[in-house]
């Protein structure tokens, strides 16, 4: 929802929406395009009251309820000015606009030194029960035992538990989308925006979002915003009153995307298949935005810049990255990188196969027609591999061999160290369930995640063994117990966890806190060895330190001779496991426990 500002009401303006609502002086990009929406405003002439803001053009499209005003702000100072609307030379009304003074520090970006925590705001913690239901919105159904209804989690709940994340060892926070989703149902997940410039009031407001960012930064936790360019909710105000027929992709009858991203690099693909992939709708209630439309392009790009300034963001995660128009993605990344050279960017690539995933990586050499300078990708290929390692018997291409072969293909990326790695997320079955609720296998996967190359991401509750399979999705998006008043147990505290949950939490916390100061894990090189007897061994090393990791998912202990590792161990005599403090003689064989992992500092 969006209401008229007090200034708009005072001026008796018909303007209902202004995008962006305000802007800043001294931006890198000299141009600003303001989209105004109001009844028949295209029938007026527009002038400015400012001296140093230059009016370049005023454009109208199919719908008379929109005007697009292009401004040159290269010489403009921070100020308030008016858009003056007139007919036949007589002023009819004015609409106030503001260029603010920039105060936002440079984004911190993301690096392999970070550990991201992904959470779904509606399901994490309810800090303000008063905003659980907003009567003016379409969905007023609150029911915690429903998988599809709102549960009441909000931004205040996240603020209230920043200490929990800090103590765990988290350095970056990724929220599933928090923009207004004023849909009649299924609005809790946030992926069907109905207003790009408002926080959903059931989560809070812009000031509270800014407050969350400030408090997170005070604790050394970076802010990652989840953005969706491919689609919006069908109740979005500009969908209900389309600026033009080409604002979205439209077909004679409903056409859903194929989800087959391989079409983009298929040398034999039909144009029909490419069109349906990129232009088909994600779902019936999620219209597909047309990023070929220059006004859609500006709208989306400026929105990202606006939120970066407003909320001091450090990075963006781009949802359904592969379904957006490739040319637009290049333009978007160029504009944001120019404005914020240190801003982190990573895209969701839920695809099959390393070559398909690597296609979307920035600055890669495997293709010439698409380079969105994307820093990293969600590394689904490594996710598939660790699942195979923990659930398949060892073989030439199975079990831990999948880890080896997956990492072999890192040559496809310019820099795989900025890929975001994970064991589960909001769309996938919970890690603990996938491995058969085996606490020892749990430790192997978590140990691998936090010592392997990449930027690790932990899905909320994985650290306390939350479980379930994604059938339906709501089962992997349950509430974090203790986040609501009256919960029978509080998993945010040790006394509220079961012994097994506390074992998992303590294990993850130990690894995270150890990892925080380990430059060798953050930026050290990686060397892997061909798996032997079902044991996978790799090293993280730099000029000052070497870490040796051995993992064995099998049901039997395995002894591995150390002579083949001499190129990494020749300067060392002993290896001490950081988890148990057990010390091994590197001149002798090392026995890796059944369903065990050794993370050893070489001395």
Q: Is the peptide bond before 20 cis (omega within 30 degrees of 0)?
A: yes
State phi, psi for 385 to the nearest 5 degrees: -70, -45
Closest to 314 in 3D by CA, of 343, 286, 276: 343
Residue 234 a catalytic site member? no
Rounded CA separation 473/123 (Å): 13
Query: Residue 95 pairs with which residues in a beta bridge?
Result: 83
Angle (CA) 199 177 212, round 5°: 60
Start-end of H helices in 21-161: 121-124, 155-160
Rounded CA separation 324/284 (Å): 17
Angle (CA) 513 515 518, round 5°: 130
Q: Which residues of 50-67 are buried (b: 16+ CB within 10 A; e: fewer)?
A: beebbeeebebbebebbb
Rounded CA separation 431/226 (Å): 22
Query: Residue 585 pairs with which residues in a beta bridge?
Result: 574
The CA-atom distances, in angstroms, between 476 and each of 390, 464, 483 are: 20, 13, 16
State phi, psi for 564 to the nearest 5 degrees: -75, -10
Rounded CA separation 555/96 (Å): 70
Rounded CA separation 186/189 (Å): 7
The CA-atom distances, in angstroms, between 599 and each of 448, 538, 558 are: 9, 10, 16
Please identify which of the residues 182, 279, 288, 348 carries the catalytic annotation.
348
Q: Which residues of 551-564 are buried (b: 16+ CB within 10 A; e: fewer)?
A: bbbbeeebebebee
**Both tokens of residue 498?**
């079961």
Decide: helix, strand or coil at residue 568.
Answer: helix
Rounded CA separation 593/552 (Å): 7
Residue with tokens 């709940």: 157
**Which secondary structure element, helix H or strand E, spans residue 117, and what is its range?**
strand 116-119
State phi, psi for 31 to the nearest 5 degrees: -110, 150
Please identify which of the residues 114, 314, 319, 379 carries the catalytic annotation.
319
Dmax of the chain from CA atoms?
93
Closest to 78 in 3D by CA, of 48, 101, 50: 101
What is the Rg, in whole angstroms, of the alpha carbon atoms belonging to the chain?
26
Start-end of H helices in 255-400: 271-279, 294-311, 326-339, 354-359, 380-391
**Both tokens of residue 414?**
């310019």
State phi, psi for 255 to the nearest 5 degrees: -130, 120
Instruction: Count other C-beta atoms under 10 Å from residue 396's C-beta.
Output: 8
For residues 471 and 428, the answer to whether their CB atoms sit within 8 Å is: no
Residue 319 a catalytic site member? yes
Which positions are catalytic?
Answer: 319, 348
């Amino acid at each position: 929802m969006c209401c008229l500002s007090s200034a708009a009401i005072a001026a008796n303006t018909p303007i209902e929406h202004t995008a962006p609502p305000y802007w800043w002086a001294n931006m890198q990009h000299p141009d600003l395009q303001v989209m105004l929406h109001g009844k028949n405003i295209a029938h007026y002439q527009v002038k400015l009251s400012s001296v140093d803001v230059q009016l370049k053009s005023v454009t109208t499209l199919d719908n008379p309820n929109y005007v697009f005003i292009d401004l040159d702000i290269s010489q403009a100072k921070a100020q308030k000015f008016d858009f003056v609307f007139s007919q036949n030379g007589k002023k009819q009304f004015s609409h106030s606009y503001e260029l603010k003074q920039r105060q936002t520090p440079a984004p911190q970006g993301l690096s392999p030194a970070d550990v991201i925590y992904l959470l779904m705001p509606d399901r994490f913690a309810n800090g303000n029960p008063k905003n659980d239901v907003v009567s003016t919105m379409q969905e007023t159904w609150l029911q915690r035992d429903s998988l599809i209804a709102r549960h009441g989690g909000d931004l205040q709940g996240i603020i209230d538990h920043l200490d929990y994340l800090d103590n765990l060892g988290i350095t970056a926070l990724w929220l599933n989308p928090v923009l207004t989703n004023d849909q009649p149902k299924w609005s809790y997940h946030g992926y069907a925006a109905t207003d790009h410039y408002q926080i959903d009031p059931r989560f809070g407001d812009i000031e509270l979002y800014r407050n969350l960012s400030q408090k997170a930064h005070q604790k050394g936790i970076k802010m990652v915003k989840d953005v969706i360019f491919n689609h919006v909710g069908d109740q979005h105000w500009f969908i209900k009153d389309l600026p033009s027929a080409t604002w979205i992709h439209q077909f004679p009858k409903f056409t859903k995307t194929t989800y087959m991203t391989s079409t983009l690099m298929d040398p034999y693909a039909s144009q029909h298949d490419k069109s349906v992939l990129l232009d088909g709708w994600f779902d019936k209630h999620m219209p597909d935005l047309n990023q070929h439309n220059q006004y859609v392009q500006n709208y989306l790009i400026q929105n990202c810049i606006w939120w970066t300034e407003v909320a001091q963001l450090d990075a963006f995660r781009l949802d359904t990255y592969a379904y957006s128009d490739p040319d637009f993605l290049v333009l978007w990344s160029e504009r944001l990188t120019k404005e914020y050279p240190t801003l982190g960017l990573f895209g969701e690539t839920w695809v099959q196969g390393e070559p398909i995933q690597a296609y979307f990586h920035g600055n890669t050499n495997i293709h010439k027609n698409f380079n969105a300078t994307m820093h990293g990708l969600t590394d689904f290929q490594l996710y598939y591999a660790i699942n195979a390692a923990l659930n398949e018997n060892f073989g030439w291409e199975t079990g831990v061999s999948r880890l080896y072969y997956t990492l072999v293909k890192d040559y496809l990326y310019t820099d795989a160290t900025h890929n975001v790695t994970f064991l589960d997320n909001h769309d996938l079955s919970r890690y603990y369930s996938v491995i058969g609720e085996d606490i020892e296998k749990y430790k192997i996967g978590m140990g691998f995640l936090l010592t392997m190359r990449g930027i690790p991401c932990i899905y909320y509750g994985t650290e306390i063994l939350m479980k379930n399979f994604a059938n339906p999705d709501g089962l992997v998006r349950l509430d974090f117990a203790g986040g609501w008043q009256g919960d029978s147990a509080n998993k945010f505290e040790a006394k509220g966890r079961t012994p097994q949950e506390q074992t998992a939490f303590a294990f993850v916390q130990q690894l995270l806190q150890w990892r925080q100061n380990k430059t060798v894990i953050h930026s050290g090189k990686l060397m892997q060895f061909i798996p032997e007897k079902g044991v996978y061994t790799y090293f993280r090393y730099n000029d000052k330190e070497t870490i040796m990791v051995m993992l064995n998912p099998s049901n039997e202990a395995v002894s591995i001779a150390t002579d083949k590792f001499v190129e990494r161990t020749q300067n060392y005599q002993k290896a001490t496991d950081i988890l148990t403090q057990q010390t091994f003689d590197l001149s002798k064989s090392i026995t890796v426990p059944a369903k065990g992992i050794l993370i050893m500092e070489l001395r």
